Amino acid sequence: MAELLLLFLQIARKVSCWQTQEDDMLACLKTADPVKLTIAGKINLLDIFGKDPVMDLLDLAPVIDGDFIPDDPSKLFHNAAQFDYLAGVNSMDGHLFAGIDVPSINSMKETTTV
């Protein structure tokens, strides 16, 4: 949880949201320029999460609402065959992991070797 707070604060500071009260900061972030906010979100995850396995970061993604996602996804895989689901890919699938494992792919000035 402390890692998420640090990430939240780093993003907020990059778009000039210096409020100390959470509600005030959220209000500021909601009015921030979307492009600047997107760029501010580009933070080196290794600085925040250290060298832990990148797959652990996936625990931050789902919102367990009890309806659409009834439980932690890792607990739902055992009965996945019982449900219809849509799976797909996009042009940036896996980039988060590749960017951590091969940092040069995020730099125009570095060469990425095989």
Lowest-confidence pick of 14-18, 45-49, 88-92, 109-113: 45-49
* Pair of tokens at residue 92: 């940036």
pLDDT per position as a tens digit, 22-53: 899 889 999 998 888 877 876 666 665 565 55
Structure-model confidence comparison of residues 52 and 62, the more confident one? 62
Tell whether the model's pLDDT for residue 77 goes beyond 70.
yes
What span, in angstroms and rounded, lies between the C-alpha atoms of 78 and 88? 20
What span, in angstroms and rounded, lies between the C-alpha atoms of 107 and 16? 25
pTM comes to: 0.40
